[in-house]
Structure 1
Amino acid sequence: MQWMKGLLGAAVAAMIALPAHAADYKDEYKVSTVLGTPFPWGIAAEEWVKLVDERTNGRIKMKVYPGTQLVQGDQTKEFTAMRQGIIDMAVGSTINWSPQVKELNLFSLPFLATDFAATDAITGGPAGEAVFAAIEKQGVVPLGWAENGFREVTNSKHPIRTPDDMKGLKMRVVGSPLFNDTFTALGANPTQMSWADAKPALTTGAVDGQENPLSVYSVAKMDTVGQKHITLWHYMNDPLIFAVGKRVWEGFTPEDQEILRQAAVDAGKVGIAAARKGITAEDPSLIEEIKATGAEIVELTPEQQKAFVDATRGVYDQWAEKIGPDLVKQAEESVAQSRK
């Protein structure tokens, strides 16, 4: 009998030592995104899926569901759905998650970060760490950064060079009160709608213009819906965040958590490179490609950009108080350091 007890004890010990993934992992983890490939957003998400698959030898299966189809196309509900466990994971926009995490409005402050160095300084500095901590308090675990890009303004009516040129334009904006306030301050008539509804509205003329990165403009062929006037004003960048719902995250072993996190960091670098491709002084190929469609691209001078900064300063100050003055100050200090 004693030898049987010994065997039983050994068997129990072996079962306890088995890694959690042997029995507890899902057959598939759903990853929500607004945009799929070939947009940089989708490229980042697909790279994450690929790297995790490779680094776990297929033990962790993830699948990207673009178009926010997991939340019936309402991108502002994505964060809540992940927190509630309806969505396992997401590569999401700081804009779309800002209604639930007020600190994420930091990135939408008009003209806070107007170049890539400033963006990187914020995400890679104390403000970025504070934003991740705020997200985790809401029941979602952030893992890494990607990028949608600088949101440039386009319209079907005329070139935009001064705030006066915005007056009266019907502009599609995302579902964020800060965007409403910014475009109202510039004299435009903002209309909130999802990306799924935006292109049809531009096609019919229900709205005159919109704001999005040039990569989105190009892939979505927005020149075909009358968006022939583009102004590069760099008024805000839209970082993306790789994240996992907390309950899902806690189901992974520490080793697999580290694989997921590092894969997100590495995929983020791929996504950021894709978002910045063709729009720099060193590589203006995407800008040239868009010009070839017949679109007119206005690049603001520093003096012209300052007029927009001045026109939206009241919105900036008002929202800095809502977001948190200390967090905004941290971001501003990082931006200042990036320019030295």
Structure 2
Amino acid sequence: MRKMIVVLASLAFLGLAFSGGAEAADSYRLKLGHTGAPSHHYQTICTLFAKKVAERTGGKVQIDVFPADQLGKQLESVEGVMVGTHDMVLASDTVLSNWVPNMGILNLPFLFNDLSDVRKVLDGPIGARLAKELEPHGAVVIGWWENGMRHVTNNKRPIKTPDDLKGMKIRVPEGEVFVETFKALGAGPTVVSFGELYSALQLGTVDGQENPPAHILTQKFYEVQKYASRTGHIHMSSPLIMNKALLDGMPQEYRTAILETARELGPVHTKMVEELEAEQWKEVKAHGMEVIDVDKKPFREKVKPVIAAYKKKLDASIIEDIEKTLQ
């Protein structure tokens, strides 16, 4: 069904019949959705993006920002951007891997040591290559923004080694790499949508979850979780995507303003996240969670088979190029 929907992307727009609606031939009002809470840094960076685009276009391109999945859950919103019922969404590489499997490479466990590694990869030819693979599906990656390294929280016991994860139900997002990674670590990965995660933790449907500290705070996971282990096991990037027909149909000066602004804000967002996280971990502790720093070496050893398997399953040359870039 999904493939049938995406095939219709080329028919989504006729003339100026965009989802956001063109107010006039040279004026546009667009909608940008994201999954973060209104207090999340997604809202901050999206609002900054809208402000800068409006400034660069003399107010001719206005972007309204909708947090907390107000325009639909992330999977639905990504589909909407592809077919033209949505203008823009701050997505995740994990969700995009449903259409572009190679996007899943970016979620391989312990591929990146830190956020500077991520920028080296995504701001270069590898990021451009992965972005290009999305375009046949009707969407364009206009910027690689930031989510952060992911860390495990749970309500049962401190996680210091992979053995501590055995038998534990850990919520993961939709994405095969996440499932395989936590299977390799001995846990029971369970896919739950982000909007339903708090309830799943509260009801005990899952024992724990994995996310950057911003989500622990803004989603108040500290109310239903006792332990946070700073594993930094997987990085999830936040590609900002836009409907291709909509972008292509805009005057060149507007396209340039949108693309340049989105790309310039990638490193800005990364720096923002780095600075925020230093304070966010203090807040997590202040809310009563026990924060544990782990030795990552045994975790890395456990997931080596996952990376080896994906070198056979996905484009091994991209994985090897990333490894070479980060040597």
Give TM-score scaled by structure 2 length. Answer: 0.88
1:276 offset after TM fit, Å? 1.4
CA distance in 2, matches of 1:259, 1:313: 42
Following superposition, the deviation at residue 65 of structure 1 comes to: 2.2
Contact 1:34 1:68 in 2 (8 A): yes
| SS of equivalent residue, structure 2 residue 288 | coil
Q: Which residue of 2 aligns with 1:59?
A: 60
Q: CA deviation at 1:271?
A: 2.4
Which of residues 289, 298, 302 in structure 1 aligns to 2:292?
A: 298
Worse-superposed segment, 255-264 or 42-51: 42-51
> Pairwise mapping of residues 1-340 of structure 1 onto structure 2 (< 5 A)?
23-24=24-25, 27-71=28-72, 73=73, 75-225=74-224, 227-279=225-277, 284-301=278-295, 305-336=296-327
Tell me the distance in 1 between the aligned counterparts of 2:291 and 2:26.
Answer: 50
Compared with structure 1, are the counterparts of its residues 101 and 78 closer, same or farther at alpha carbon in structure 2 (3 Å cutoff)? farther
Change (3 A) 1:25 1:323: farther
Q: What code does the residue aligned with 1:198 have?
A: L
Uncovered stretches (5+) of structure 1, i.e. residues with no partner? 1-20
**Structure 2 residue matching 1:191: 3-state secondary structure:** strand
The answer on whether the counterparts of 1:159 and 1:298 sit within 8 Å (CA) in structure 2 is yes
TM-superposition CA deviations, 1:36-79 (whole Å, max 9, x none): 432122222121111111222221121122233333x2x22332
Give the CA deviation at 1:22: 8.3
Task: Answer yes or no: is the 8 Å Cα contact 2:47–2:65 preserved in 1.
Answer: yes
Q: Percent identity?
A: 30
Q: Structure 1 residue 229: deviation in Å?
A: 0.7
- Letter paired with 1:297: V
Asked if the contact 1:127/1:331 (under 8 Å) is kept, the reply is yes
1:90–1:26 distance in 2 versus 1, CA, 3 Å: farther
Q: Give the SS at the match of 2:91.
A: strand
In the TM superposition, what is the alpha-carbon distance from 1:26 to its structure 2 partner?
A: 6.4
SS of alignment partner, residue 277 of structure 1: helix
Q: What is the distance in 2 between the residues matched to 1:213 and 1:224?
A: 16
Judge which range, 265-274 or 327-336, deviates more: 265-274
Report how far residue 25 of structure 1 moved: 5.4
Offset of 1:98 from its aligned partner? 1.3
Q: Any idea what the Cα deviations from partners look like across 1:302-333, whole Å, max 9, x if unmatched?
A: xxx12111111111111232221011111111
Runs of 5+ unmatched residues, structure 2: 1-21
Deviations 1:136-191 (A, max 9, x none): 23321222121011111100011111111001111111011221111111111111
Deviation of 1:278 (Å): 4.0
The DSSP-based 3-state class of the residue aligned with 1:35 is coil
SS of the residue 1:110 aligns to: coil
SS of equivalent to 1:38: coil
Shift of 1:221: 2.0
Residues 311 and 165 of structure 1: CA distance in aligned 2, closer, same or farther (over 3 Å): same
Once the two structures are superposed, residues 223-262 of structure 1 have per-residue CA deviations (whole angstroms, 9 ceiling, x without a partner) of 111x121111111111111221111011211111110012
Conserved 8 A contact 2:126-2:318: yes
User: Helix, strand or coil for the counterpart of 2:228?
Assistant: strand
Instruction: Choose 1 or 2 for highest CA Rg.
Output: 1
Contact 2:105 / 2:319 at 8 angstroms: preserved in 1? yes
Taking the aligned partners of 2:276 and 2:31, their CA distance within structure 1 comes to 31
Q: 1:66 to 1:289 in 2, by over 3 A?
A: closer
Q: Distance in 2 between matches of 1:269 and 1:124?
A: 9
Q: C-alpha distance in 2, partners of 1:33/1:292?
A: 28
Query: May I ask how many residue pairs the two structures share in their alignment?
Result: 306
Amino acid at match of 1:323: L
Q: Deviations over 1:110-152 (max 9, x none)?
A: 1111212211221122221211111223321222121011111
Secondary structure at the aligned position of 1:235 is classed as: coil
Task: Specify the SS of the correspondent of 1:242.
Answer: strand
Equivalent position SS for 2:71: helix
How many angstroms does 1:289 deviate by?
2.3
Q: Secondary structure at the match of 2:54?
A: helix
Amino acid at match of 2:261: A
